[in-house]
A and B are shown apart, each in its own frame.
Chain A
């Protein structure tokens, strides 16, 4: 039923190390994948995206990897900083403009 799944509800990483957030999907028709970041009492904000025809997209400390054969994507944050502590949502685009989101992963960066 859930087309986009984030199986880790939470992740704790030491400051300066790499954070890796994972996401799995079931629908092979998704054409874009996105990551959103959400702070408490705020709406999610767009972080980074990747087209289904690519396998990697990088933006500063953030890199998204897509493995279409495994229907899996991941977000790497290097190096992790305290301000990265937030809930991260994986999303996939279905059709013209509809985004399907996962359950979210709460990332905590420890000093």
Chain B
């Protein structure tokens, strides 16, 4: 099992550009989560999906952020237009139902200049 795969590992972009982050969850996992890590707030949940359907997007900062899960093996998080305050590490995680927690990917470090 290759685990949760995120791409790219690093992204540097200019303010105003569109950014797309990608995630491949573990096969068989029903849930997919997008988190953002910041110093002030730690790991913030942005959105999560169950069986490819968005369940809770209350953590998405504003309309500039959108996420899709077109099938069970792929999800994207898009920021358009990007701003310097979006600079953070973005993590994708997946899980089955149950209390044992998630498996996280290695993250995408986004820098908006």
Contact = CB atoms under 8 A, between A and B. Distances in A.
B46 to A, nearest CB: 12
Contact of A6 (B31, B39, B42, B107): B42
A34 B4 CA distance: 20
Given A43-B91, A43-B104, A103 B42 contact: yes
Interface residues of B, number: 27
A15 to B, nearest CB: 27
Contacts of A46: 100-103
Contact of B100 (A41, A42, A49): A49
B12 interface: no
**Which secondary structure dominates where chain B touches chain A?**
strand
A51 B99 CA distance: 8
A73 B48 CA distance: 26
B23 to A, nearest CB: 11
A42 B100 CA distance: 19
A56 to B, nearest CB: 16
Nearest to A44: B104
A69 to B, nearest CB: 22
A100 B45 CA distance: 7
B67 to A, nearest CB: 15
A36 interface: yes
Interface string B71-113: 0000000000000000000010101010111111111000000
9 contacts: A6-B42, A41-B106, A42-B107, A46-B100, A91-B101, A96-B50, A99-B101, A102-B42, A104-B43
Given A36-B101, A44-B91, A103 B40 contact: yes
B99 A93 contact: yes
Given A2-B41, A43-B91, A43-B107, A98 B101 contact: no
B106 A42 contact: yes
